[in-house]
Structure 1
């Protein structure tokens, strides 16, 4: 289940507890610890890169799978956009069924193919399969396809709460793994033989890769590019997306359910009269990574929903070949509720700018609330 849907489900319980007694809220920590994580040892870095080398093809084939109903927006689009701009692999987006995909919490896209069509064209399977968070962890068709790809020796990469899907496919037994901070307890409970690894944004173990929360797919994608094409290529792509430095460093204690987090969820939800739909114009050639990050972040405030609009109902093609369907047909949007154009902003810069915009509109607590959901380190040098 998508991390925001998990949080929405938990919100009812939070509100109930808040109403009948505030003791639980008061017992929550007031703030997570924030400390610069230690550097990754060179031998660990080398082992990670070695374990991610392409298993089959010199130019690898990477498949990103989702279900048509509510696959997580940034988990699905960010690895695609980053890997496509590197041009070191063939990258395709897949859905379990024909038709468009409604991503969550924002955007609607047309995948390149169904899993059945992919199998017909590539009976030997992919080199890498990226598994985003999905609205359900136990979709039978998705699970069977992931198992089949693993049996064909594809490296399976569970992004964020996609680790739960990988776990339900039976691939985490005895493996070292991580996931979105909110899903750690659930994942460990369902898969007791899995060994959780803290303080790492990326964990690789015998053909299975897992990451922490949503924005971890940025360093994951760059690490994969390094494994395929070398450090210099990965650095060039990193600069292109606004991430000059990255590795697997992570401060797990920075991300947890805190009192301000709970109170922001309650307060922003309760202020229903102030909820708003914020428009962003969908343009041909838009950077799909920046668009995903911007719409995802604005749709996690519990005060706003990002909505794309265009003058026609037809799909528009992104910078790297994703066909995106507008939510609304319109030639303009009320200025007070119009989000800034993305233009040529680098994805990491677009996210930082969006968090600044959220702070200006709703306050810094809401910015922290969104960054916590995205599991976004506020230290750019350790992303």
Structure 2
């Protein structure tokens, strides 16, 4: 235990140091007008249109030992629902992929060598989520090879760090999670950070801002492959009004107050509550990922998957590892009546009701989600009691 405490103290000092630097960082420039935003969106869509006839192949790259949950599950589910591409999750080893921040696991990843045998000319698109290790040698080498073969690469959130380790950010414009900005600029010569954009593309390499940017970015990719009508219909199903690149970068930064909350939460790891998210065949991957991700980022909750029948096949076809529920654990509240993005809004309201607005703000910062304050209805429901 004391080893973990020492590690946390070191991380805490680093976080406070970053907060001190971030507090003096220059503000992002003013937002552009609608016409400029529209042109940037169209440029993104045009840059990602298929280069060859036929059904494109999308490889979702994962690290078996730890891949960000929403970064992986949401692009997979959106593209599967759209039906515009062949979608495969690929990892150094076939089989299981551990996810974070919730303690979930999925089955069905294809190993990198196996993918190469089936697709010797490479993928058309490679989507790169955040990973626990951004410089895994097998992942880096495979990503470099795919890029050389002509794949368009899309780094989601801190997946930009993985993309950068493959040498694909040098001299390019990028977005990326706000927390990674200084690291990416330091690592990559000639790279330029683009503020106020949810997604950016430069010569076949696209990047997005934080976790929730995977929603508009994937809808833009669906538009590029399948057309605007397909993207519009899917957006309505998800509860998304628009999927343009406009984004106010200014609120997303680590100040001293937020850093201190982070330090206290990480030090008080013994206060984590074990919750379960109950799943069944056909459960919505996107709503599940967004809700479990948000609760897991409160610093108070550890989320596990529960099912009386064991592993379940989610709506996208992906198999989620689940165990019978442990007695007495609270349930993550999910409402089948809500569309996936509405589920995230409800979850944030429930977090504020249970832990306060400061903790909700922390979650929104980590997920880089610009939700208006007025989105919370009165009397948001509390987590379901233990059954």
What is the deviation of 1:367? 0.5
Say which of 284, 291, 316 aligns to 2:312.
316
Q: Contact (CA 8 Å) 1:14, 1:262: kept in 2 or not?
A: no
What residue number does 1:334 align with? 328
**Aligned counterparts of 2:61 and 2:227: Cα–Cα separation in 1:** 26
1:360 aligns with 2:357: no
SS in 2 for 1:100: strand
Say which of 206, 210, 227 aligns to 1:209.
206
What residue number does 1:88 align with? 84
What residue number does 1:225 align with? 222
What residue number does 2:97 align with? 101
Quickly say closer, same or farther: Cα 1:109–1:363, change in 2 above 3 A: same
Higher relative contact order (CA 8 A, sep 6+): 1
1:70 aligns with 2:70: no
1:163-242 alignment, distance < 5 Å: 163-242=160-239
1:45-83 deviations in Å (ceiling 9; x for gaps):
322211110123432111101010111111111111111
**Aligned counterparts of 1:102 and 1:134: Cα–Cα separation in 2:** 10
**Aligned counterparts of 2:284 and 2:6: Cα–Cα separation in 1:** 32
1:1-383 alignment, distance < 5 Å: 12-13=9-10, 15-16=12-13, 29=23, 37-38=31-32, 39=34, 41=36, 42-106=38-102, 107-272=104-269, 274-313=271-310, 315-326=311-322, 328-330=323-325, 333-334=327-328, 337-379=330-372
Q: Contact (CA 8 Å) 2:239, 2:340: kept in 1 or not?
A: yes
What residue number does 2:379 align with? none
Q: Could you tell me the TM-score, scaled by structure 1's length? A: 0.88
**Aligned counterparts of 2:18 and 2:204: Cα–Cα separation in 1:** 41
Q: Contact (CA 8 Å) 2:91, 2:112: kept in 1 or not?
A: yes
Quickly say closer, same or farther: Cα 1:325–1:51, change in 2 above 3 A: same
Q: Contact (CA 8 Å) 1:150, 1:156: kept in 2 or not?
A: yes
Q: Contact (CA 8 Å) 1:288, 1:318: kept in 2 or not?
A: yes
- Gap regions ≥5 residues in structure 1: 1-7
Of residues 231-240 and 363-372 in structure 1, the stretch that sits farther from structure 2 once superposed is 231-240
Q: Contact (CA 8 Å) 2:235, 2:242: kept in 1 or not?
A: yes
Quote the RMSD (CA, aligned, Å): 2.9
1:304-333 deviations in Å (ceiling 9; x for gaps):
1111111143x210001100001x323x75
**Aligned counterparts of 1:308 and 1:103: Cα–Cα separation in 2:** 12
Q: Contact (CA 8 Å) 1:260, 1:365: kept in 2 or not?
A: no
Aligned residues: 367
What is the deviation of 1:355? 0.7
What residue number does 2:381 align with? none
Q: Could you tell me the TM-score, scaled by structure 2's length? A: 0.87
- Gap regions ≥5 residues in structure 2: 375-387
**Aligned counterparts of 1:91 and 1:209: Cα–Cα separation in 2:** 18
